[in-house]
Structure 1
Amino acid sequence: MSPVTLGSAASHLQDQVLALVRGEHAAVVAAYVPVGAEPGGPGLIPALAASARVLLPVLLPDGDLDWAAYEGVLTAGPRGLLEPPGARLGVSAISSAGLVLVPALAVDRRGVRMGRGGGSYDRALARIPSSGPLVVALLHDGELLDEVPAEPHDRPVHAAITPNGGLFRVAV
């Protein structure tokens, strides 16, 4: 996608995410920092922080995710990621969120999420109780598919948002 197309998609996605935060009355949102062409763009986290407390992942050496609160600053982390430099809240902090936003390369209509293959988010999502918060993958248009291959350790999402397709709740 061109920079103009990415910017437009990010703006549409941010608007939909903020509407979801309001609709879910989420005081705490666990999210991710989009890098490169990932859905949400560079304005996602500041926009979220204007509406809720934002928890962001901190990649641990074993590939698991710790969490820290976003306080307006991000620093370089491993694998080209950006992370908040503040106090670490522990791997279970994700379960305190009222809404969880996750990155994905694709999601299918059953909620199967394809990530980058490291399993970090599958481990994190396993810590959320089944009665827990809504888990939503942010996608580009065309990344909501009929079927995505699944492994036994894969954790489904409850919904996906695309810039022009809006919120799609999956059957989990």
Structure 2
Amino acid sequence: MPDLTGDAERSRADKIALRDRLLTSRRAMTSTALASAAAAIQDQTLSLVRREQPATAAAYVPIGREPGGPDLVAALAAHVRVLLPVLLPDNDLDWAAYPGTTRPGRYGLVEPTGPRLGVSAVAQARIVFVPALAVDRRGMRMGRGGGSYDRALSRLPLVSGPLVVALLHDGELIDHVPAEPHDRPVHAAITPGGGLTVFAN
């Protein structure tokens, strides 16, 4: 009989080790490397938006060393209506349209000042840009461990749903991400050096 409990514990331990390694690598990036990566990611996200021409896209405000840089949302908002997440006390994500202004949110995050639209509003988007620490060649995504985006992505229809795209630094598109039952894959990833990679999931 398979040891499901042991498998789950090993998967969690593998995730913790991989997460630590990736965060250490991000901390080692210079300000010049971060700025160059952010510019390349913004170019790629805007190219995708111009090609797909969605009425609405969902994104996030990058903080610290997250891919995309501090100007990502403003760059997107010049071309498309943007929904941004608002972290709720239970770590779920509410959503609001970006009105051009933001304010400090929980845990050092940045959130939009517009009226909240509810946890299901993400389904209005035709492209959803999500943060990630790593994505593998199957499209399995690893975040920071809070499960917020797994819950949000679970509300999206599997058929004819939005294109879900993870934004990564170079070196974060890897061969294997340890997966647990609640983890949701993404359809594509953008890296500064490799551009858009689409997965067959």
TM-score tier (shorter): over 0.9
- 1:72-129 per-residue CA deviation (whole Å, 9 max, x = no partner) reads 1110000110001210000000000010000000000001000000100000000000
Match of 1:144 among 162, 168, 173: 173
Q: Structure 2: give runs of 5+ residues left out of the alignment.
A: 1-28
SS at match of 1:136: strand
- Say yes or no: does 1:53 pair with 2:81: yes
- Shift, 1:58, TM fit: 0.1
- 1:108-152 per-residue CA deviation (whole Å, 9 max, x = no partner) reads 000100000010000000000012010000000000000000000
- Say yes or no: does 1:170 pair with 2:160: no
- Say yes or no: does 1:5 pair with 2:33: yes
Q: TM-score, normalised by structure 2?
A: 0.85
**Runs of at least 4 residues of structure 1 off by over 4 A?**
none
Match of 2:60 among 27, 32, 43: 32
- Larger relative helix fraction: 2
Q: Structure 1: give runs of 5+ residues left out of the alignment.
A: none
Whole-Å separation in 2 of the counterparts to 1:27 and 1:163 = 25
Letter in 1 for 2:181: P
- Shift, 1:22, TM fit: 1.1
Letter in 2 for 1:135: V
Whole-Å separation in 2 of the counterparts to 1:87 and 1:10 = 28
Q: TM-score, normalised by structure 1?
A: 0.99
| Fraction of identical pairs, as percent | 71
Whole-Å separation in 1 of the counterparts to 2:53 and 2:191 = 21
Bigger Rg, structure 1 or 2:
2
Residues paired across the two proteins, number: 172
